[in-house]
Amino acid sequence: MTDSIKLNDIRCFAPHGCLDEEAIVGAEYQLDLELFGSFQRSFSSDDLNDTIDYVKVYSLAREELRKRSQLIEHVAERVAASLLRSIPMIESVSVHLAKENPPIPGDLKSVSVHIHRGRPA
């Protein structure tokens, strides 16, 4: 059985984008994570060691969000790879990353990417 834990609406200001001025002015980003694995032991133990530490997940994700990239696709992939590499209990992860108010002419709230990554077989 696979269970999931979600971290919703992680907010971060970061300098991503293809334009030079985006590195200077930055933009707001919104990140949602869904972590898949088996958390059966934590249901009865009520022990943090038997589940995923949300604080560690948050810290790892924020660390990757702060590193400059041109593409949000690249940032999302880095977040997924970092979580899978650092937290063995995560079997797979879904990453949804949105850039608010992108520099596109017109009325557009955000642009986003959604990826799902698992451990190599």
Annotated active-site positions, please? 99
> How many residues appear in the chain?
121
Q: Which residues of 3-13 are buried (b: 16+ CB within 10 A; e: fewer)?
A: eebeeeebebe
Across the strands, what pairs with 36? 4, 92
DSSP state of 48: G
CA distance 52 to 70: 30
Coil, strand or helix: which one is 4? strand
